[in-house]
Amino acid sequence: MELANVTLEILGFLFVIGVLAGFLDTLAGGGGLLSIPALMISGMPPLLALGTNKLQASVGIGAATLLLFRKKKFSWSEVKAGVLIAFIGSLIGAIIVQSINAEVLSFVIPVVLGFIALYFIISPGVKNNTKASTSKRSYQNIVVSIIGCYDGMFGPGAGSFYVLTGVALKRLDLIRSAIQAKPLNFASNVASMVVFISFGQVAWLIGLLMMSGQVIGASIGAHYLVKANPKVIRLLIVSMSCAMLLRYSYSMGWFS
């Protein structure tokens, strides 16, 4: 992406998206549903958009994770095994996506994001379980590794998947699961970011700009984590992501 083609309007737009994505990611996950279409609308090729998104998302979710850790909302001992598995799964997914043709990704990414947005619309509310339906080891080795791999390849919704599976498959209430999902999501974001950087698929100027927005949004979101209305957050994510996906589809000439 040529920096000469990046206007102040585009930079301002991406900064605002970074703030919104950081805020939404911290509360419910799904910030990538906003940032990836925004980057592609701005003219980035698919792999560069994915890599740049990982750069700014890693710092945003990292800020939220650090804040929750400093507030003693979770301990390292209870998440360290899952963090390692999420990291390894994401490394594998990020390496796989590098070999996919750019033209294929231009079609696949909006389709994947569309399905994730649809999931946000139709998925039922999560209820607390009184009994875990799978062992801790099985959850980490299978579920966390699969979500980590998906996060390495694409990412949007991964934070929500960590939260939902924590409630559905472990003995966690919704808020506890949301808190413990943050270090897992951070690990899979960092692993993917390392791979994309090693392949040169990061636009640093734009990534750093959105990163600053992510930190602001994530910091605000972390303070509102226990007060958030999941239905309102879900509606915001879906509405905004669908609007940008439609805009991207139109710019690609799919409706002409």
**pLDDT confidence of residue 234:** 66
Instruction: Answer whether residue 80 is part of any domain.
Output: yes
Q: Is residue 203 part of a domain?
A: yes
Report how many domains make up the chain: 1
What confidence score (pLDDT) does residue 209 get?
93
Is 17 part of any domain? yes
Q: In a structure prediction context, what are the per-residue pLDDT tens digits for the chain, which is 256 residues long?
A: 545 567 889 999 999 998 988 787 767 666 788 888 899 888 899 999 999 999 988 877 787 788 888 888 888 888 899 999 999 999 999 999 999 987 888 888 888 877 777 776 676 555 555 454 556 677 888 999 999 999 999 887 787 788 888 877 877 777 888 888 889 999 999 999 999 999 999 999 999 999 898 888 877 877 776 666 666 766 766 776 677 677 677 666 665 5
The reply to whether 70 falls in a domain is yes
At 23, which amino acid appears? F
Give a yes or no: residue 185 inside a domain: yes
* Residue 171: inside a domain: yes
Instruction: Report the b/e string of 46-84 with b at 16+ CB within 10 A.
Output: bbbbbbbbbbbbbbbbbbbbbbbbeeebbeeeebeebbe
- CB neighbours of 60 closer than 8 A, spacing ≥ 6? 18, 21, 22, 25, 26, 31, 211, 214, 215, 217, 218
Query: pLDDT value at position 147?
Result: 94
- Cα end-to-end distance, the chain, whole Å: 25
Q: What is the pLDDT of residue 130?
A: 46
Is residue 256 one of the residues assigned to a domain?
A: no
Q: Please tell me whether residue 100 adopts helix, strand or coil conformation.
A: coil
Q: In angstroms, what is the C-alpha Rg of the chain?
A: 17
The parent domain of residue 243 ranges over 3-251
Query: Cβ neighbours of residue 138 under 8 Å, at least 6 residues apart?
Result: none
Do residues 245 and 36 touch, judged by C-beta distance below 8 A? no
Query: Please, are residues 74 and 180 in contact by the beta-carbon 8 Å criterion?
Result: yes
Q: Left, alpha or beta for 132 (phi > 0: left; psi -120 to 50: alpha)?
A: beta
Residues in the chain, overall count: 256
